[in-house]
Amino acid sequence: MPPQVSKNKNNYSFTIADLMKMNDRCDEALREIFHMSYVVMCQLLGTIHQHIHCLYKLSDAVSMLDMLLSLANVCTISDYVRPEFTDTLAIKQGRHPILERIVGQQPVSNNSYISEGSNFVIITGPNMSGKSTYLKQVALCQIMAQIAFRVADQIFTRIGVDDDFETNSSTFMLEMKEISYIIHNASDRSLIIVDELGRGTSAEEGIGICHSVCEFLLGLKAFTLFATHFLELCQLESLYPNAENQHMEVQHTRSGDTGLRAAEMTALPSNIIQEAKMIASKAKHHSDPETQRQRAVYKLATRLLQTARNSRLDPESLRMYLKGLKKQYEAELLAAGQPAAIDTEEE
Ligand SMILES: Nc1ncnc2c1ncn2[C@@H]1O[C@H](COP(=O)(O)OP(=O)(O)OP(=O)(O)O)[C@@H](O)[C@H]1O
Ligand SMILES: [Mg+2]
Q: Is residue 71 part of a domain?
A: no
**How many angstroms is it from 105 CA to the middle of ligand 2?**
21
**How many angstroms is it from 193 CA to the middle of ligand 2?**
12
pLDDT at 346: 46
Domain boundary (228, 255, 283) is at 283
| Cα–chain center distance at 325 | 28
Strand 223-227, strand 191-195: pairing:
parallel
Domain count, the chain: 3
The ligand that comes nearest to the alpha carbon of residue 229 is: 1
The verdict on 184 and 318 lying in the same domain is no
Give, in order, the Cα–Cα distances in Å from 228 to each of 103, 244, 247, 251.
25, 13, 10, 10
The verdict on 161 and 304 lying in the same domain is no
| Cα–chain center distance at 11 | 61
The verdict on 104 and 159 lying in the same domain is yes
The verdict on 189 and 141 lying in the same domain is yes
Q: Is residue 278 part of a domain?
A: yes
Measuring from atom 26 of ligand 1, which residue has the nearest CA? 127
pLDDT at 84: 83
pLDDT of 79 above 50: yes
Measuring from atom 18 of ligand 1, which residue has the nearest CA? 130
Q: Is residue 311 part of a domain?
A: yes
pLDDT, mean over the chain: 83
Q: Residue 95 sits in which domain range?
A: 87-283
pLDDT at 347: 42
How far, in Å, CA of 69 to CA of 117, rounded? 38
pLDDT at 165: 66
User: Percent of the chain at pLDDT above 70?
Assistant: 87
Confidence of residue 7 (pLDDT cuts 50, 70, 90): confident
Domain boundary (283, 301, 335) is at 283
The verdict on 115 and 246 lying in the same domain is yes
Amino acid identity of 136? K
Contacts of 219 (CB under 8 A, 6+ apart): none
pLDDT at 251: 43
pLDDT at 252: 45
User: Percent of the chain at pLDDT above 90?
Assistant: 29
The ligand that comes nearest to the alpha carbon of residue 159 is: 2
Q: What is the mean pLDDT of residues 262-284?
A: 81
| Cα–chain center distance at 129 | 14
Q: What is the mean pLDDT of residues 227-240?
A: 87
**How many angstroms is it from 256 CA to the middle of ligand 2?**
21
Q: Say which range, 23-27, 46-50, 101-105, 229-233, has the weakest mean pLDDT.
A: 101-105
pLDDT of 285 above 80: no
pLDDT at 3: 80
The verdict on 45 and 92 lying in the same domain is no
Confidence of residue 30 (pLDDT cuts 50, 70, 90): very high
Ligand 1 atom closest to the CA of 102, numbered from 1: 31
Confidence of residue 107 (pLDDT cuts 50, 70, 90): confident
Q: What is the mean pLDDT of residues 133-143?
A: 91
How far, in Å, CA of 223 to CA of 190, rounded? 7
The verdict on 112 and 159 lying in the same domain is yes
Q: Say which range, 87-96, 172-181, 289-298, has the weakest mean pLDDT.
A: 289-298
How far, in Å, CA of 118 to CA of 112, rounded? 12
pLDDT at 166: 66
The verdict on 279 and 335 lying in the same domain is no
Contacts of 321 (CB under 8 A, 6+ apart): 307, 311, 313
Reduced to 3 states, what is the DSSP secondary structure of residue 159? coil
Report angle CA 294, 297, 302 to the nearest 5 degrees: 125
Q: What is the mean pLDDT of residues 249-267?
A: 58
Q: Is residue 67 part of a domain?
A: no
Q: Is residue 173 part of a domain?
A: yes
Q: Is residue 296 part of a domain?
A: yes
H or E element in which residue 124 lies: strand 120-124
SS (H, E, C) 163-216: CECCCCECHHHHHHHHHHHHHHHCCCCCEEEEECCCCCCCHHHHHHHHHHHHHH
Q: Is residue 139 part of a domain?
A: yes
Report angle CA 238, 241, 246 to the nearest 5 degrees: 70
The verdict on 96 and 206 lying in the same domain is yes
Q: What is the mean pLDDT of residues 147-161?
A: 67
The verdict on 234 and 344 lying in the same domain is no
How far, in Å, CA of 213 to CA of 178, rounded? 12
Which CATH number is 212's domain given? 3.40.50.300
The verdict on 300 and 255 lying in the same domain is no
